[in-house]
Structure 1
Amino acid sequence: MTTFDDRERAFESKFAHDAEMQFRAEVRRNKLVGLWAAELLGKTGEEAQVYARAVIQADLHEPGFEDVVRKVSADLGDRASADMVRGKMLELLPVAKAQLMTETQA
């Protein structure tokens, strides 16, 4: 095995790890967005958790996050626009990443 092979394997491993962490961060972001929307809808406790899971599942329908935006903005109606939902998603992605980093270090 050459040094090049070792470097290639390390690069592939890092790429796979980074892709997994990005996926996990997006799922966490969707959960946080779901909890935020649930609060606006007056849901609490288990009902809020169920709604957050529904938001997570909405992201599995198509690539990108517009499917989440459509679901949440439709559910919120006049309480929040699609642009407001997108803004909240952008705001919560770094929060989700920070939470995951804290969990992996513990």
Structure 2
Amino acid sequence: MSTFDDREAAFEAKFAHDEEMKFKAEARANKKLGLWAAELLGKSGADAEAYAKTVIAADFEEAGHDDVIRKVVGDLGDKADEQTIRAKRREALAEAKEEMATEA
């Protein structure tokens, strides 16, 4: 293998790793958002975990995280507005990235 091929393979491996970490951070943030929303809905324990899984699954409906926001906005009704939910998700994503960085 040439030096160019080695560099290309390394770049591709780094890209794949970075995308995997991004996916995991997004899923972790969605779980955190789901647990927060579950608490507002009065859920706890296994019910809260089950609800958080539905929030994670909602992220597979379309690209981006607007599908997650729509789900949580719809589920929470007047318990939290969209702006609050978006802020909470940004906070959850920052926490998830920080946690993953310290775990690595």
Q: TM-score, normalised by structure 2?
A: 0.95
Matched, 1:93 2:83: no
Q: Distance in 1 between matches of 2:49 and 2:102?
A: 21
Aligned equivalent of 1:20: 20
Aligned equivalent of 1:38: 38
* Runs of 4+ deviating beyond 3 Å: none
Give the unaligned 5+ runs of structure 2.
none
- The code of the aligned residue for 2:56 comes to I
Q: Distance in 2 between matches of 1:92 and 1:53?
A: 15
Q: Distance in 2 between matches of 1:90 and 1:46?
A: 25
Identity across aligned pairs (percent)?
A: 59
- The code of the aligned residue for 2:2 comes to T
- The code of the aligned residue for 1:87 comes to A
Number of residue pairs matched by the alignment: 104
Q: C-alpha root-mean-square deviation of aligned residues, in Å?
A: 0.9
Aligned equivalent of 1:61: 61
Cα deviation for residue 2 of structure 1 reads 1.2
